[in-house]
Structure 1
């Protein structure tokens, strides 16, 4: 694959220099937002702590526009250098500061989303680390960016690569959103059952509720004394709120562990960071790291199990209000160093609700925890898939021949005023269904015209009437839930009741509501007297079933999906001729 220097396909725009009296902290007439390095978070804009600058201080060129790559070019930390985001809309009327710069793609030279994907690669990160290695000033120069070599396939292939990686990113973001929602559900449940733990004045000192409060030390020799395997030594970098990180988990030998025998970690112990920037982070120790010890930055909290359920305790300590309280406690004796002393811990007041109520909460939290663990597992798998596909795409080994793309995104070629030469051998344009790598099976059998119901309210229609609509439309053809929902909403014009699992959890009245999912589930399990469905797994790679009721709308949507995404469960109506 051809490589080209970034400077040949983009321009660099410097950030805005300003004086303290040029900016304000809130919106005001004549001022616009100015983004700094701390506003670039996870490839997106973090609008918290945004400052505003006088509009007349900004040149037109320094206003962000679609396709711009905004990145940090100067920073107090080398780890933050080069982090970026792509501007995905026009006319946002936002500018950026002097410690940032913009890489602006030259129109029709490179597809912006492709360039954005390249800036997310390990190759780019390693390049940034190499050019800043040994530098005394954490600063990226113009030539550092101009000299980046970018693999440059055809514009069509750039679109294909960006689309494939974008689809994976959508799934990754969906997993992250699901994890966040599960975290919020646990928090909401805790506050609903126990109220704000800090506002409640009733409390018992922690020393009366525990059998162990204590931290350890670092073995002599520090990092160099750690072993490749052995007994785990848990450090503050392993502790996150309600999550244990196995990354950089240290190990020590039996002799080193013996010297730390006073801080042996046991099952269900709560680990609390007591010093540094990560102070107050807290989690329950996972059993698979035992046997273990802790160093001086982590304290063990071992609660009396006949009084405190550890799951209640850890969610109390990680609640937003308690985290804020612990942080304030850690800075109460020093403005420069966060630290919670053993004496402060021992006298920390903790609310103690009835144990049976704690146990009820713990059961809920553990169930949600299992769902979260599954989402986290899927997230890791998708992140690994993204890394693999990205590496293949930018090394030129990814097969792009079967990946569709929108030709409207190609650069517009200016017409040349030359006589038109008609090539009689030129291939005739193919129909839409031939452009799509799918078999258009069509609707089989003679189908009568759909008779729409007199009302479009789902709750006012009988399941019998809904079943008749579906039977008349699909007959003996296969369809999936997405196609069925599209027919009901777009063609039958029904306001379909469709309650998500989140809605059901937040509103128990919806748990057994007769919505679309209940209707479909009953049809598959033979509980629906008016409609019975069989289900088959469709493998789009080999197209193992025929007679799928694809419409043009379905094909347009499916053409943008990968083979794996098009595969899945399809249904067919059971009757004397279809039941096997």
Structure 2
């Protein structure tokens, strides 16, 4: 079977996004205006109803409306992880897209839209996007994208490959959805047991967090020189999610024997809290992380266990009600973060310990199932990645 290498511009039309000034965009529909989505709407699916800006209709040319099988790509962002991110449209929409995006409209006589979509999400293409130009803002130039060469078998073979990848992708997405449902279940359990932290409908006693802490500190800077392949675990902000640990990118350090290092050393049941970005991330230190260290973006809270169950506190700190408190305290908006006084004066409600313990029991049982789901998800991801590698090298 003959495979060819075709430039993207030979099998698809590249469409530039809409350029408009801040003054030209409004946040709600108006007669004579067209909705425009931005890069944030490019997720696993295309979120056409999220993040819309309405611009004068004369700004949008007919070919710039999103059509079925169009592939929308983020082509400019402050994050290299977002550049190259793609989503495929499942219908025609009277909606366009902004200048930080590009539309890729496949020629159906030459390329399968699903095949092209999977290739643009493949490791080969992702590796190329990571080399995109720009020191602070990462970009894919339209001219570079047009010249990028796509491995292309005959159309029937493209469709066969796309069908296999579609099925494998559906499996990994179902695994991901199951994990998300488990997370949502825990949030629902928390609200059912304890009520909304903002309104406190059950009338629990309220106090400031400082009354429930034995120790409070944050990580320090300067750990980069101690990074190593093995050694003590080093916990960074990306390892702390919404009431859970995320350990796929766990780092290691050869920690110095200093008071400063010892101060940031964690113990089992310490609660970790994000303090410089993504406020509302929290997690409880487990046995396998005990003795590790934290970086400057995390605070370490060691609770009085006669008042608070650590896992209850972590769930509380990750709640929407807690996020409202954090945002109110974060006077300089996103970048300033939280200081120790903000944490000490954070208001918590205090259900009876036996009630908190019931939540812990449910949490532990759910996490046991969740860990199994994550293993299945990781296996599905690895399987899909392997298929993708084979698919675009002619070995599938």
TM-score by length of 1: 0.63
In structure 1, which of residues 373, 388, 391 is the aligned counterpart of residue 389 of structure 2? 391
Q: 2:34 aligns to what SS in structure 1?
A: strand
- Superposed counterparts of 1:135-534, under 5 Å: 138-200=138-200, 202-219=205-222, 222-253=223-254, 255-256=256-257, 259-275=260-276, 277-329=277-329, 331-332=330-331, 334-335=332-333, 337-398=335-396
Residue 525 of structure 1 corresponds to which residue in structure 2? none
Deviations 1:218-277 (A, max 9, x none): 34xx413222222223222322112222244333335346642233311111111222x2
Q: Is the 8 A contact 1:214 1:263 kept in 2?
A: yes
Q: Is the 8 A contact 2:280 2:322 kept in 1?
A: no
Quick check: 1:280–1:327 contact (8 Å CA) kept in 2? no
Secondary structure of residue in 1 paired with 2:234 = strand
1:49 Cα offset (Å) = 2.1
Distance 1:383 1:325 in 2: 37
Residue ranges of structure 1 left out of the alignment (5+ in a row): 399-580
Tell me the secondary structure at the aligned position of residue 252 of structure 2. strand
Counterpart secondary structure, 1:212? strand
- SS of 2:66's equivalent in the other structure is coil
Distance 1:97 1:344 in 2: 38
2 CA distance for matches of 1:99 and 1:298? 32
Matches within 5 A, 1:534-573: none
Separation in 2, partners of 1:93, 1:235: 43
Q: CA deviation at 1:383?
A: 0.8
Q: SS of the residue aligned with 1:41?
A: coil
Establish whether residue 73 from structure 1 lines up as the match of residue 72 from structure 2.
Answer: no
Task: Specify whether residues 336 and 357 from structure 1 end up closer, same or farther in structure 2 by C-alpha distance, changes over 3 A only.
Answer: closer
Structure richer in strand, relative to its length: 2
- Cα 1:259/1:306, change in 2 over 3 Å: same
Whole-Å Cα distance in 2 between the matches of residues 367 and 218 of structure 1? 37
SS in 2 for 1:344: helix
Assess, with a 3 A threshold, how the Cα gap between structure 1 residues 14 and 185 changes in structure 2: closer, same or farther: same
Identify if the C-alpha distance between structure 1 residues 32 and 216 changes in structure 2 by more than 3 Å, giving closer, same or farther.
closer
Residues 1:123 and 1:338: Cα distance change in structure 2 (over 3 Å): same
Work out the CA distance in 2 between the residues paired with 1:257 and 1:43.
49
Aligned residues: 391
Instruction: Supply the distance in 1 between the matched residues of 2:149 and 2:237 (Cα, whole angstroms).
Output: 39
* Structure 1 residues 285 and 320, CA gap change in structure 2 (3 angstroms): same
Contact 1:68–1:104, Cα closer than 8 Å, also in 2: yes
> Separation in 1 of the partners of 2:138 and 2:229?
33
Unaligned residue ranges in structure 2 (runs of 5+): none
Q: Secondary structure at the match of 2:29?
A: coil
Taking the aligned partners of 1:20 and 1:211, their CA distance within structure 2 comes to: 49
Larger Rg: 1
How far residue 30 of structure 1 moved from its aligned partner, in angstroms, is 3.4
Contact kept in structure 1, 2:226 and 2:255, CA below 8 Å? no
Higher relative contact order (CA 8 A, sep 6+): 2
